[in-house]
């Protein structure tokens, strides 16, 4: 089954990476990885979160300089590994909406720094518009090249990013999760176009978490896990469950030992009925009980976070009902949700969760300032008491309550955000990617904390891209794809009674959950097509 | 979007919020023409006076359009103009008109490089860099001139830099037209202009696209100081002397002119033509309010009100 990473004899690989290693602050992101891509093939790059996919792409693209290893493009070794050198060698990559300027038009963005010039050397926007139109016509998608990017929806922005990468006439085209915001029909057209491009000899590296897509578009796939090369093989030889097995691996990474206290499910605290947002969620219903942890599983762009934002009043609900403790409530802004006892710990910790330059104490009481003022003055004794209580309860490691949050580790910063919302004494806690960017030790601590909160009678909703975390933390898991709820899984259903080793059992459950998520995607396609 | 002047007919009114400056300019002009007709508003001499009084603001505003579009700000322009009047006058006194022109441009270049260096290399926000420079430039001008006016006794210099006219047309109008034309083309049609707009529109995205944003910021700040020095040279030529008070407080009119013209204080958006019309509109309002016989105190209040109204109307809903 395991094929060598080398290319067939005779063909000069479009990309040839050898022995690439890269560490970030002592953490090994890549460990001696070999990676070959042939001209004219669509090559899928697969792996879980932290497997090293984006690191190796950034090495190829010149953004990261590897500690060791060599990069060859079309047989030419790149001596200077800079973005400019990579571009000149013919490598183009889409950045997930990172390289678009909202105040410029679509055409101006597509050709930024490579604008068409007229006879006098002046920028010719009309020509850029014509060329952008030609690209969108080739892709057979509708994007107005004259529209301001800031006025576009997520799908149109993604198409603009793709057009920007395509317009460079590259020898190697890297598409990093290009389909997360695209409609099914646009993905189909993108695939047709990529086939044509590959037929012309362009090497295409395609990153996606959607294995149905990989199976259809890619000729070969390379799977990375924990910064190491696992396998490179034709996709025809990789059924979806085999791919998942390689991605997940056999042994867990230290989450299996988190004790899962028995759930003492109480009354229904939150009932969501046919809830719709402006785009996502799409008629989602579920019930969350006291003392229960419910997980939301789905890929990026599936509408997990949108669902959380609608419940928390950050995005408007277009239709549907939210019931809290048996009463129908109307939530139109975040303060309504807070008043109903809902707290959302957002995904982007540094920008939405905490003010890192402020002290632990200042952050902890930020959401309850109204409650701890006396005669217009802040009751500092109470603020200190609340902070000390939270530091003890969540075992936050900080030199003192007056130290700036920026001096804390990622895991402890996350605890401060959680503590800030616990101070509001919510009944329902929503955690969006609570362990993103946190080391493995702190991860299991956060998971343990989530279990403890449920044991203390809170209802917790957890969103995570790391399935092993969801499996460790949750009592039930709701699978979401394209904004719709597909299946409510009992955690126990995913266990295999025959598996006795806890590490293996967790990975077996992860593979099952992964298969359910992928099934939901194809089920969606069946509905659409 | 890219060519507001060649937009199809009707688009001017359809996008009225975007074009409020042009509509407002015409509206105010018509109102003044009707109500102030008996006070000589439409007299060619009065209209040319408006041009003379706003030319320096317009010159500085053309450059600050680039600074604002790149997401930065320059508060030092008024003080730098004042400093340039003094260095020009002193250099002419010592070594003649050519040395004067060189001294003026050198003043702008030196201040601009210093502002840009502090902002892009040391990382002090341009708001603070140029706020400090405002005081430093004014202090320098007072110090080297001993707070006294320095006379300029070169008729040639005075004619070319602001005092002269070709037939009835003041030389100042040529300066504004030439700089405005060049500025418009540079911002709209060159790679540099596009990089300026990209830097202010989204700095991270611009860097991902291979734009050296620090370099762009450096260049716009140098451009702005050089334009301020040129405005100072025009002040000096028109008034045949260098004094530290010239240009004092101009930074607010300059920024107001650009914002009135549709340039965003948050970067990414700017038009040079709009800026020039914005500057002319401020001059128009000043002139009209004086002809109405308003006292200075009342002029200040009325001017502030009109600017707030225009900017509020141009906000996207």
* H or E element in which residue A132 lies: helix A125-139
Partners of B184 on chain A (C-beta within 8 Å) are none
Look at residues B176, B206, B188 and name the one whose alpha carbon lies nearest to residue B271.
Answer: B188
E strand or H helix at A377, and its extent?
Answer: strand A377-378
Tell me how far CA of residue B264 lies from CA of A366, B58, B131, B197, B251, in angstroms: 32, 17, 20, 11, 16
pTM: 0.78
Q: Two tokens at A90?
A: 């013919």
Q: Is the pLDDT of residue B1 over 50?
A: no
Picking from B1, B190, B269, the nearest residue to A146 by CB comes out as: B1
Q: Is A101 on the interface with B (CB under 8 A)?
A: yes
Q: Are A475 and A266 in contact (CB under 8 A)?
A: no
- Is residue B249 within 8 A of residue B56, CB to CB? The reply is no
The count of CB pairs under 8 A between chains A and B is 66
First to last CA, chain A: 33
Contact list, B191 vs chain A (CB under 8 Å): 113, 115, 123
Q: How far apart are the first and last CA of chain B?
A: 18
Chain B residue with CA closest to A147: the answer is B1
User: What residues of chain A score a pLDDT lower than 70?
Assistant: 1-10, 96-97, 251-263, 440, 524-529
**Is the Cβ of B2 closer than 8 Å to some Cβ of chain A?**
yes
Evaluate whether A295 touches A342 at the Cβ level (below 8 Å).
no
* Strand A373-374 to A459-463 pairing: unpaired
| ipTM passes above 0.90 | no
Q: Which pLDDT value is given to residue B146?
A: 93
**Quick count: other Cβ atoms within 10 Å of Cβ A375?**
5
Q: Do the Cβ atoms of B209 and A112 come within 8 Å?
A: yes
Cα angle A512-A517-A522, degrees, rounded to a multiple of 5: 120
Give all strands (DSSP E) within A5-96, no chain letters. Answer: 15-24, 27-37, 42-46, 68-73, 76-77, 91-93
What is the side-by-side order of every strand in the sheet holding A76-77?
A: A27-37, A15-24, A68-73, A76-77
Continuous segment of H or E residues that includes residue A190: helix A184-199
- Rg (chain B; Cα; Å): 19
Chain A residues with CB inside 8 Å of B1's CB? 105, 146, 148
Count helices and strands in chain B by DSSP H and E runs = 14, 4
Q: What's the farthest any 2 CA atoms get from each other in chain B?
A: 60
Flag if A122 and B190 touch (Cβ within 8 Å).
yes
Question: B250-300: per-residue pLDDT in tens?
Answer: 998 899 999 888 898 889 999 999 999 999 998 998 899 889 888 889 888
CB-based contact, B1 to chain A, within 8 Å = yes
Task: Please enumerate, as own/partner, the contacts of B19-24 that have beta carbons within 8 Å and a separation of 24 or more.
Answer: B20/B262, B20/B310, B20/B313, B20/B314, B21/B260, B21/B261, B21/B262, B21/B274, B21/B277, B21/B278, B21/B281, B21/B310, B21/B314, B22/B274, B22/B277, B24/B281, B24/B310, B24/B313
| pLDDT of the residue at A255 | 67
Distance CA B279, CA B256 (A): 8
pLDDT in tens, A296-344: 998 877 889 899 999 999 889 999 999 999 999 999 998 899 889 999 9
B contacts of A132 (beta carbons < 8 Å): none
pLDDT of res. B3:
39
Distance, CA of A354 to CA of B151 (rounded, Å): 59
Per-residue pLDDT at B228 = 97
When the pLDDT of each residue in chain B is averaged and rounded to a whole number, the result is 90
The DSSP code sequence of B183-228 is HHHHHHHSHHHHHHHHHHH-HHHHHHTT--HHHHHHHHHHHHHHHH
Contact assessment for residue B49 and residue B287, using Cβ atoms and an 8 Å cutoff: yes
Confidence category of residue B5, pLDDT binned at 50, 70, 90? very low
pLDDT 10s digits, B161-175: 988 889 889 999 999
pLDDT at residue A377 in the model: 86
Q: Whole-angstrom Cα distance, residue A383 to residue A360?
A: 11
Instruction: Give the closest-approach CA distance of A437 to chain B in angstroms.
Output: 21
Report the residue of chain B nearest A129, measured CA to CA: B2
Q: How far is B188 from chain A (nearest CA, A)?
A: 8
- Residue B138 pLDDT greater than 60, yes or no: yes
Compute the residue count for chain B: 317
Q: Is B45 on the interface with A (CB under 8 A)?
A: no
Question: How many Å separate Cα B283 from the centre of its chain?
Answer: 12
Q: Is A105 an interface residue toward B (CB < 8 Å)?
A: yes
Helix then strand count (H, E) for chain A reads 16, 22
Closest CB from A84, A104, A123 relative to B201: A104
| Residue B20: CB atoms within 10 Å | 22
Give the pair of three-digit tokens for residue B111. Answer: 């201040």
Tell me whether B15 touches chain A (CB under 8 Å): no
Does the distance separating the beta carbons of A98 and B205 come in below 8 Å?
yes
For residue B315, count other CB atoms closer than 10 A to its CB. Answer: 8
Q: Reduced to 3 states, what is the DSSP secondary structure of residue B28?
A: helix
Q: Are B257 and B57 in contact (CB under 8 A)?
A: yes
As a whole number of angstroms, the distance between CA A441 and CA A95 comes to 31
pLDDT, residue B312, reads 80
B190 at the A interface (CB within 8 A)? yes
| Any A CB within 8 A of B216 CB | no
Q: Choose among B190, B209, B264: nearest Cβ to A113.
A: B209
Q: Give the percent of chain B with pLDDT over 70.
A: 94
B4 pLDDT band, cuts 50/70/90, is very low
Q: How far is B149 from chain A (nearest CA, A)?
A: 45
B77-95 and B213-239 helices, crossing angle to 10°: 60
What is the C-alpha separation between A397 and A401, in angstroms, rounded? 10
A226/A246 Cα distance (integer angstroms): 11
Q: Would you call B312 an interface residue with chain A, using a CB distance cutoff of 8 Å?
A: no
pLDDT confidence of residue B77: 97
| B23-311: CATH, from 2.40.160, 1.10.4160, 1.10.3470, 1.10.20 | 1.10.3470
| Cβ-based contacts of A123 with chain B (< 8 Å) | 188-191, 193-194
Residue of B nearest to A58 (CA): B208
Q: What is the pLDDT of residue A260?
A: 65
d(CA B293, CA A393): 72
Residues paired with A423 in a beta bridge? none
Interface of B with A in 148-187 (CB under 8 A): 185
Average pLDDT over residues B244-248: 94
Please check whether residue B191 touches A, CB under 8 A: yes
Is some CB atom of chain B closer than 8 A to the CB atom of A108?
yes
Put simply, the answer to whether B197 touches A104 (Cβ < 8 Å) is yes
Cβ of B209 within 8 Å of Cβ of A123? The answer is: no
d(Cα A81, Cα B70) in Å, to the nearest integer?
29
Rounded CA separation A134/B126 (Å):
41
Closest residue on chain A to B212 (Cα): A113
Residue A71 pairs with which residues in a beta bridge? A17
- Tokens matching residue A350: 């540094």
Looking at chain A, the whole-number percentage of residues with pLDDT higher than 90 is 41
Q: Measured between CA atoms, how close is B181 to chain A, in angstroms?
A: 14
Residue pair A292/A410 in contact (Cβ under 8 Å)? The answer is: no
| pLDDT given at position B14 | 63
Nearest Cα residue in chain B from A146? B1
Report how far residue A328's alpha carbon sits from residue B267's, in angstroms, rounded to the nearest whole number: 45
């Amino acid at each position: 089954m395991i094929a060598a990473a080398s290319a067939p004899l005779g063909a000069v690989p479009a990309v040839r990476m050898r022995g690439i290693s890269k560490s970030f602050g002592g953490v090994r992101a890549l460990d001696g990885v070999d990676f070959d891509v042939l001209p004219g093939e669509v090559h899928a790059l697969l792996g879980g979160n932290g497997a090293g996919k984006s690191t190796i792409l950034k090495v190829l693209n010149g953004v990261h300089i590897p500690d060791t290893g060599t990069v060859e493009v079309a047989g030419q070794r790149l001596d200077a590994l800079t973005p400019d050198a990579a571009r000149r060698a013919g490598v183009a990559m889409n950045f997930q909406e990172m390289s678009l300027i909202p105040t410029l038009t679509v055409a101006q963005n597509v050709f930024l720094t490579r604008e068409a010039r007229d006879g006098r050397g002046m920028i010719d926007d009309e020509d850029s518009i014509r060329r952008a139109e030609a690209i969108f016509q080739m892709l057979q998608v509708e994007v107005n090249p004259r529209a301001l990017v800031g006025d576009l929806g997520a799908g149109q922005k993604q198409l603009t990013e793709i057009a920007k990468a395509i317009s460079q006439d590259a020898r190697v085209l890297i598409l990093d999760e290009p389909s997360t915001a695209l409609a099914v029909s646009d993905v189909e057209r993108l695939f047709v176009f990529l086939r044509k491009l590959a037929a012309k000899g362009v090497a295409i590296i395609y990153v996606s978490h959607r294995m149905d897509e990989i199976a259809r578009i890619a000729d070969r796939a390379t799977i990375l896990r924990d910064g190491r090369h696992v396998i490179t093989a034709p996709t025809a030889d990789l059924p979806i469950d085999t791919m998942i097995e390689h991605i997940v691996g056999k042994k867990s990474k230290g989450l299996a030992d988190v004790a899962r206290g028995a759930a003492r499910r109480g009354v229904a605290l939150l009932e969501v009925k046919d809830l719709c947002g402006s785009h996502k969620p799409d008629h989602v219903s579920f019930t969350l009980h006291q003392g229960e942890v419910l997980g939301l599983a789905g890929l990026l762009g599936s509408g997990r976070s949108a669902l959380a934002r609608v419940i928390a009043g950050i995005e408007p609900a277009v239709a549907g009902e939210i019931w809290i403790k048996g009463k129908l409530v109307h939530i139109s802004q975040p303060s309504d949700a807070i008043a109903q006892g809902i707290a959302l710990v957002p995904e982007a910790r540094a920008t939405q969760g905490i003010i890192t330059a402020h002290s632990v104490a200042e952050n902890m009481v930020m959401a309850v300032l109204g409650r701890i003022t006396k005669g217009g003055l802040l009751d500092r004794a109470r603020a200190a008491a609340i902070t000390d209580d939270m530091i003890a309860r969540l075992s936050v490691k900080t030199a003192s309550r007056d130290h700036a949050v920026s001096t804390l580790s990622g895991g402890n910063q996350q605890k401060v955000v959680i503590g800030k919302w616990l101070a509001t004494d919510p009944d329902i806690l929503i955690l969006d990617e609570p362990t993103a960017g946190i080391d493995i030790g702190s991860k299991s601590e956060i998971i343990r904390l989530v279990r403890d909160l449920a044991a203390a009678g809170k209802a917790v909703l957890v969103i995570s891209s790391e399935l092993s975390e969801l499996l460790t933390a949750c009592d039930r898991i709701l699978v979401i794809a394209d904004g719709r709820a597909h299946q409510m899984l009992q955690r126990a259903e995913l266990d295999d009674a025959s598996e006795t080793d806890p590490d293996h059992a967790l990975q077996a459950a992860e593979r099952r959950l992964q298969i359910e998520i992928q099934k939901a995607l194809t089920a969606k396609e069946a509905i659409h097509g | 979007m890219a060519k507001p002047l060649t937009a199809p007919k009707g688009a001017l009114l359809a996008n009225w919020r975007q074009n409020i400056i042009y509509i407002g300019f015409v509206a105010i002009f018509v109102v003044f023409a009707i109500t102030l007709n008996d006070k000589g508003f439409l007299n060619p001499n009065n209209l040319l006076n408006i041009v003379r009084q706003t030319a320096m603001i317009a010159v500085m505003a053309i450059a600050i359009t680039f600074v604002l579009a790149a997401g930065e700000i320059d508060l030092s322009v008024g003080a730098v103009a004042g400093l340039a009047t003094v260095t020009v006058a002193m250099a002419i006194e010592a070594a003649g008109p050519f040395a004067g022109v060189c001294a003026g441009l050198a003043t702008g270049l030196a201040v601009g490089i210093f502002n840009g260096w502090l902002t892009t290399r040391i990382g002090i926000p341009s708001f603070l860099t140029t706020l400090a420079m405002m005081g430093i430039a004014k202090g320098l001008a007072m110090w080297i001139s001993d707070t006294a006016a320095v006379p300029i006794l070169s008729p040639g210099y005075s004619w070319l830099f602001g005092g002269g006219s070709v037939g009835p047309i003041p030389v100042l109008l040529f300066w504004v037209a030439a700089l405005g034309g060049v500025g418009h083309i540079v911002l709209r049609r060159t790679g540099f202009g596009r990089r300026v707009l990209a830097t202010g529109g989204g700095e991270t995205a611009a860097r991902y696209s291979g734009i050296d944003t620090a370099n762009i910021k450096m260049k716009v700040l140098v451009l702005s100081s050089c334009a301020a020095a040129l405005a100072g040279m025009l002040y000096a030529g028109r008034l045949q002397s260098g004094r530290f008070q010239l240009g004092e407080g101009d930074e607010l009119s300059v920024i107001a002119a650009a914002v009135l013209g549709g340039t965003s204080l948050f970067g990414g958006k700017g038009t040079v033509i709009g800026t020039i019309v914005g500057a002319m509109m401020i001059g128009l309002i000043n002139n009209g309010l004086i002809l109405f016989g308003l006292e200075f105190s009342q002029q200040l209040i009325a001017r502030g009100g009109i600017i707030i109204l225009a900017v509020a109307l141009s906000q996207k809903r």
